[in-house]
Chains A and B, each alone.
Chain A
Amino acid sequence: DVQLVESGGGLVKPGGSLRLSCAASGFTFSHYNLNWVRRAPGKGLEWVSSISTDGRYIYYADSVKGRFTMSRDNADNSLYLQMNSLRSDDTAVYYCARDFSYGADAFDIWGQGTLVTVSS
């Protein structure tokens, strides 16, 4: 089965750091652009970051630029999101998602999500 599984969420104090992971299986990981999307409580979906197949091109939402770093390990079929200087408004369920095909496309496979709570 094609699958993405996130991990690494939890409770962290404002100003703290957290590293999310996303493990992929069932498809050729290195052939797909990947993304992080979050949904804060009571809010809609928010795109966070995208990375190209080889990791050379990475894009961020203004709300996380300079604080979050997205990376991937194609040898290990893994995606990461390093989150620093966390704020209360970063509290959300974070999803990793795969592009449908090469190029800027819809997100066809989503993980189950991991909850990040930023609170003192």
Chain B
Amino acid sequence: EIVLTQSPDFQSVTPGEKVTITCRASQSIGTSLHWYQQKANQSPKLLIRFASQSISGVPSRFSGGGSGTDFTLTINGLEAEDAAAYFCHQSTRFPFTFGPGTKVEIK
């Protein structure tokens, strides 16, 4: 099983600041890494697919990068509505796995 770890677990951020979340895979997964946002009492929402591909309708302040084992999700200019948990997910092989999540709080 491919294990995904995320850092940090929690981040408290002032609006306008840049946020960087890291996801590390226990083995190389190419670019089969996706990012989701889940707000309280809502379903997950796809933000980035295959490490860096943007999704229609997702604000341009969200971007992704990386390949192999190390990946990042960047939020450039955090807004209050970005308070949520963020999860990475690998689809390179079964069992699919998710990272444990990073909670972003607005100061």
Contacts and interface: CB of A to CB of B under 8 A. Distances in A.
Given A45-B89, A45-B101, A108 B46 contact: yes
A106 B49 contact: yes
A45 B98 contact: yes
Contacts, number: 63
Interface residues of B, number: 26
B97 A100 contact: no
B98 A59 contact: no
B16 to A, nearest CB: 28
Contacts of A61: 95
A32 interface: no
A45 B38 contact: yes
A46 B98 contact: yes
Give the interface size class of chain A: 20 to 34
A100 B56 CA distance: 12
Nearest to A57: B94
A47 B96 contact: yes
A45 B87 contact: yes
Interface of B: 1, 32, 34, 36, 38, 43-46, 49-50, 55, 85, 87, 89, 91-101
Complex A-B, nearest 9 residue pairs according to Cβ-Cβ distance, in ascending order: A106-B34, A106-B49, A110-B43, A47-B96, A104-B91, A44-B101, A45-B98, A59-B94, A44-B100
